[in-house]
Amino acid sequence: GLLYEGLAKTEVEAIALAESGKIEFSPCQDHAAVGPMAGIVTPRMPVWIIENETFGNQAYATLNEGLGKVLRYGAYSQEVLDRLRWMEQELAPILQKAIEKHGPVDMRSLIVQALQMGDEGHNRNRAGTSLVIRELAPYLVMLDESKEALARVLTFMHQNDHFFLNLTMPSAKSVLMPAEGIPGSTVITAQGRNGTEFGIQVAGLKGRWFTGPAGIVNGLYLPGFGSDDAAPDIGDSVITETSGIGGFAMAAAPAIVKFVGGTPEDALRFTREMYEITLAENREYKIPILDFRGTPTAIDVRKVIDKGILPVINTGIAHKKPGIGMVGAGLVKPPVNCYQDALKALAEAYTK
Amino acid sequence: GLLYEGLAKTEVEAIALAESGKIEFSPCQDHAAVGPMAGIVTPRMPVWIIENETFGNQAYATLNEGLGKVLRYGAYSQEVLDRLRWMEQELAPILQKAIEKHGPVDMRSLIVQALQMGDEGHNRNRAGTSLVIRELAPYLVMLDESKEALARVLTFMHQNDHFFLNLTMPSAKSVLMPAEGIPGSTVITAQGRNGTEFGIQVAGLKGRWFTGPAGIVNGLYLPGFGSDDAAPDIGDSVITETSGIGGFAMAAAPAIVKFVGGTPEDALRFTREMYEITLAENREYKIPILDFRGTPTAIDVRKVIDKGILPVINTGIAHKKPGIGMVGAGLVKPPVNCYQDALKALAEAYTK
């Protein structure tokens, strides 16, 4: 981040500056933003703006860089910085112009369709990415941009099936934010991890994090890597599960098990279990194979504790050493004490 | 067709010419071609060329016109003819140039992916269409064509989720053709319908059609139409089922039931039943929800008769009157006597 911003010239300088106390760090989710994995957002980075039209709030996320050696997985080589610079100077301005011609993109409609096309919106986003490309392509070609620039933009999206993730995440966040601060509500409004801790927020105690140790992901590794290389669970992408998609909608995306491990039967079971700890079934997001049942939505921290069922989370795995990047993907268990502590705090706050 | 070719100026002229005996009609499938519904292919129409690289044979299909009022569903108003002319003069040449830049498109890879994205390749092709768009878009923008023309091409594909059907059909045909003429083989190599008759061919009796009366489709109708409006079962698109996708892969596409009727459970059951009448499971085309089992492939006419299970077919429904177009989609049963007659003829031919 500091290298990309030009605030440091070398890794050593960047570390010294970061440790100097002169840089203020703050969690994305305290700023209506969400960032996958390391979740780095710096001032120059362009962001998606997702507006919840019903409640008027907005949520934000940077553009997805792709898989492998990327900043959010802890890589920061020249190749990574060059890509970020290109995203800032060419990709984002061109997409912005295309969206201005197109008008706002209806994320709800795209997520509805993607769930009928084998995506779950967290670690499988091939359909959503495809839908964004076909939606924007007719407008991209109408821009006064060079062919080469348009081809780079379309190729970048085509080669990155996670492109849509950075759209589902702020969509999920924008849906959850209006529930923050509802008196007495035990609904979980935020979940996130920073690689050290896992934290949750509940609607009845706006802005208060309940944290526990981040877990180790149980999953499939890229060739040459194994669980010894894995950093603990990290990133805001669990906001998708919090809103009722991602791991909660795995039944819609059985092919995901080739990426995160397990069997299609597991994917069905995970979604079915999540109905046990949620209050509602989504009216729009449907799972065809479950006879178009709505996705399990609105996690109730009381139910998590009563039933002893933790929210299911699928996630990418970063290398524990900086500079290497993504090493796999899998499933992770959140620490149970977050939910216990949140419920206890709710009881204390509302029984005075 | 005659109006589009300029061989007739009015409907009356076209009918007179068609009835005059001066026009030779011939089934697509006798020319390595496949056409959905009415299946009209005239000399001016551009076609997809699908090459089976293993066996060196080619199969052909026109480009898909979209749904509703289109020639293949029996409509031939000026709007329909104008669209066909545009497809010939702008769409096809531009796509051809893009594919020349791209190189041959790997249909097997696209169908593999589409089956993991909720398509079955006959009446649900949203994923396949999306994949073709994202594959070609980076090459389309590099062409020396006007922005407006490129936008029309991309918009046309985007607005027609059946665009991919006219690619899966000749792909299916190209796979089946090399099996034609294998001595003694009871595998079904072709199925088709012309709105009056349903016909099949078997590998051991190359080129010989066994026919029975075309059935009435049981399905869902567009608003304002019902089963009284339906033409009997029509078109070559059943070539998809014959090759092991389409209705045979409905378990991969549970959302299709909103288009053809039934429940997701039916979709699973249809695919499972088809394993009873097929000889193999496809090595490439997998169905995630069935634990990545290969699609049921190579229908054995002996098994159809022994088990009393007819091939499952999903299909569009044309209005029985010319000029109106598509009125719905559903499932149809083929006439059992085709299979009985083919088996009998095989027995006679190979027991002399």
Of the given ranges (A1-5, A295-299, B333-337), which has the lowest mean pLDDT?
A1-5
How confident is the model over A160-213, as pLDDT tens digits?
Answer: 999 999 999 999 999 999 999 999 999 999 999 999 999 999 999 999 999 999
Q: Is the pLDDT of residue B352 over 80?
A: no
Q: Is the pLDDT of residue A323 over 90?
A: no
Q: Which of A109, A146, A152, A154 to mutate to test the interface with B (most CBs of B within 10 A)?
A: A154
Q: Which residues of B touch A142 (CB under 8 A)?
A: 147-148, 151
Residue of chain A minimizing CA distance to B150: A141
**Pairing, β A210-213 against β A278-287:** unpaired
Token digits of residue B246: 């389409």
Q: Are A301 and A342 in contact (CB under 8 A)?
A: yes
Q: Are A300 and A292 in contact (CB under 8 A)?
A: no
Cβ neighbours for A292, distance < 8 A, ≥ 6 positions apart: A286, B264
User: Is residue B269 within 8 angstroms of chain A, CB to CB?
Assistant: no
Token digits of residue A73: 């997985």
User: Is residue B352 within 8 angstroms of chain A, CB to CB?
Assistant: no
Distance, in Å, from the CA atom of B282 to the CA atom of B127, rounded to the nearest integer, reads 20
Q: Are A263 and A341 in contact (CB under 8 A)?
A: no
Q: Which residues of A touch B130 (CB under 8 A)?
A: 117, 127, 130-131, 133-134
Q: Which residues of B touch A141 (CB under 8 A)?
A: 140-141, 147, 150-151, 154
Contact A141 B142 (CB under 8 A): no
User: Residue A73's pLDDT is what?
Assistant: 85
User: Residue A324's pLDDT is what?
Assistant: 87
CATH of domain A2-168: 3.90.1710.10
Burial B231-268 (b: 16+ CB within 10 A, else e): bbbbbbbbbbbbbbbbbbbbbbbbbbbebbbbebebbb
In angstroms, the Cα distances linking B315 to A145, A201, B122, B170 are: 43, 50, 8, 16
pLDDT band at A68 (very low <50, low <70, confident <90, very high): confident
Residue of chain B minimizing CA distance to A143: B147
User: Residue A27's pLDDT is what?
Assistant: 92
Percentage of residues of chain B with pLDDT beyond 90: 92
Our measurement of the distance from residue B352's CA atom to the centroid of its chain's CA atoms, rounded to an integer in Å, reads: 36
> What's the mean pLDDT in A142-147?
98
Distance, in Å, from the CA atom of B288 to the CA atom of B294, rounded to the nearest integer, reads 9
The shortest CB-CB distance from A288 to any of B158, B254, B290 is to B254
Q: Is the pLDDT of residue A298 over 80?
A: yes
Contact A292 B264 (CB under 8 A): yes
Burial A202-221 (b: 16+ CB within 10 A, else e): bbbbeeebbbbebbebebbb
Q: Which residue has the higher pLDDT, A67 or B32?
A: B32
Q: Are A32 and A56 in contact (CB under 8 A)?
A: no
Interior CA angle at B124 toward B250 and A139, to 5°? Answer: 150
Q: Which residues of A touch B150 (CB under 8 A)?
A: 141
User: Residue A69's pLDDT is what?
Assistant: 86
How confident is the model over B139-160, as pLDDT tens digits?
Answer: 999 999 999 999 999 999 999 9
User: Is residue B117 within 8 angstroms of chain A, CB to CB?
Assistant: yes
Q: Is the pLDDT of residue A352 over 80?
A: no
Q: Which of B112, B133, B256 to mutate to test the interface with A (most CBs of A within 10 A)?
A: B133
pLDDT band at B295 (very low <50, low <70, confident <90, very high): very high
Q: Which of A134, A158, A266 to mutate to test the interface with B (most CBs of B within 10 A)?
A: A134
Percentage of residues of chain A with pLDDT beyond 90: 92
- Nearest Cα neighbor of A333 from A243, A249, A232 is A232
- A contact residues 222-261, partner B, Cβ 8 Å cutoff: 254-255, 257
- B contact residues 275-334, partner A, Cβ 8 Å cutoff: 288-292
ipTM above 0.90, yes or no: yes
Contact B141 A157 (CB under 8 A): no
> What's the mean pLDDT in A278-291?
98
Torsion of CA A35, A37, A38, A41, to 10 degrees: -20
- Nearest Cα neighbor of B172 from B287, B28, B317, B341 is B28
The shortest CB-CB distance from A118 to any of B118, B147, B155 is to B118
Q: Could you write out the DSSP letters of every residue in B276-295?
A: GGEEEEEEEEEEGGGTTEEE
Cα of A98 to nearest chain B Cα, Å: 12
Per CATH, which fold does B179-350 belong to?
v583 fold (3.90.1700)
The shortest CB-CB distance from B134 to any of A118, A150, A158 is to A158
pLDDT band at A322 (very low <50, low <70, confident <90, very high): confident
Contact A288 B264 (CB under 8 A): yes
pLDDT band at B69 (very low <50, low <70, confident <90, very high): confident
Where are the CATH 3.90.1700.10 domain residues in chain A?
178-350
Distance, in Å, from the CA atom of B286 to the CA atom of B328, rounded to the nearest integer, reads 28
How confident is the model over B220-276, as pLDDT tens digits?
Answer: 999 999 999 999 999 999 999 999 999 999 999 999 999 999 999 999 999 999 999
User: Is residue B138 within 8 angstroms of chain A, CB to CB?
Assistant: yes
Q: Are A157 and B134 in contact (CB under 8 A)?
A: yes
> What's the mean pLDDT in A55-69?
94
Our measurement of the distance from residue A291's CA atom to the centroid of its chain's CA atoms, rounded to an integer in Å, reads: 27
Interior CA angle at B197 toward B192 and B203, to 5°? Answer: 40
User: For A178-350, which CATH class?
Assistant: alpha beta
Residue of chain B minimizing CA distance to A286: B255
Burial A80-113 (b: 16+ CB within 10 A, else e): beebbeebbebbbbbbebbbeeeeebebeebbeb
- A287 Rama class: left (phi>0) / alpha (psi -120 to 50) / beta: beta
User: Is residue B112 within 8 angstroms of chain A, CB to CB?
Assistant: no
Contact A133 B133 (CB under 8 A): yes
Contact A116 B255 (CB under 8 A): yes
Distance, in Å, from the CA atom of B182 to the CA atom of B187, rounded to the nearest integer, reads 9
Contact B117 A127 (CB under 8 A): yes
Distance, in Å, from the CA atom of B144 to the CA atom of B151, rounded to the nearest integer, reads 13
Where are the CATH 3.90.1700.10 domain residues in chain B?
179-350
Contact A289 B137 (CB under 8 A): no
Cα of B291 to nearest chain A Cα, Å: 6
User: Is residue A149 within 8 angstroms of chain B, CB to CB?
Assistant: no
pLDDT band at A236 (very low <50, low <70, confident <90, very high): very high
pLDDT band at A345 (very low <50, low <70, confident <90, very high): very high
Which stretches of chain A are DSSP H helices?
A: 2-5, 11-19, 78-86, 92-102, 107-115, 126-140, 147-158, 165-176, 239-243, 257-260, 264-274, 301-307, 336-350
Where are the CATH 3.90.1710.10 domain residues in chain A?
2-168
User: Residue B323's pLDDT is what?
Assistant: 83
What does pLDDT average to over chain B? 96
